[in-house]
Amino acid sequence: MPVSKAALAITLTTITILSLLPVDNIKGIDLTFWNLPVAADKIAHFIAFLVISGLIDSFCYQDAFNLKKAAIAAIYGIWIESLQSLTDYRHPSFWDIVANCVGILMYWMLIPLFKITPILRVRWQYKETTHLETTSEHVDK
């Protein structure tokens, strides 16, 4: 699905950049929203990785969401935290990684609901349609 490729690339690029920006003002840009309460920060991580998991799942639509896809999302989160440790102004957090993993797990648990949600179920319908077309082509030969 070309849209999911673009959405995944844009999302990962944006999150990577935002996670590495300093939390103070940058040349007149107000970044005070970074000073979130701890709970709000963890909720932001949770939501981000719920979305990332869905985008990875849509990008690799041929297979069901599995441990490999979950690991890719988790490794990305750990990579971001590692990059933050290389800066003088951002710090890695174990609890950010936990929030990321909870977002990934929640995506996995919500898949049955997503499959019946009109705007989201296209991910699974596309797979079924493609599989049926491929199967019928092999039968015809």
- Burial grade of 14 (CB within 10 A; 0-12, 13-18, 19 or more): exposed
User: Is-contact 84 91, C-beta < 8 A?
Assistant: yes
Residue 72: give the domain boundaries.
2-134
Handedness of CA 104, 100, 6, 86 (dihedral sign): negative
Q: Is residue 23 over pLDDT 80?
A: no
Q: Is residue 1 over pLDDT 80?
A: no
pTM: 0.78
In-domain check, residue 140: no
User: Is-contact 50 107, C-beta < 8 A?
Assistant: yes
Write phi, then psi, for 24 (nearest 5 degrees). -90, 180
In-domain check, residue 12: yes
Q: How far is CA 119 from CA 70, 123, 125, in A?
A: 22, 9, 11
Q: pLDDT-based confidence at 47, cuts 50/70/90?
A: very high
Q: Is residue 26 over pLDDT 90?
A: no
In the chain, the number of structural domains is 1
- pLDDT tens for residues 86-135? 998 888 899 999 999 999 999 999 999 999 998 888 888 766 555 555 55
- pLDDT tens for residues 50-94? 999 999 998 988 889 999 999 999 999 999 999 999 998 888 899
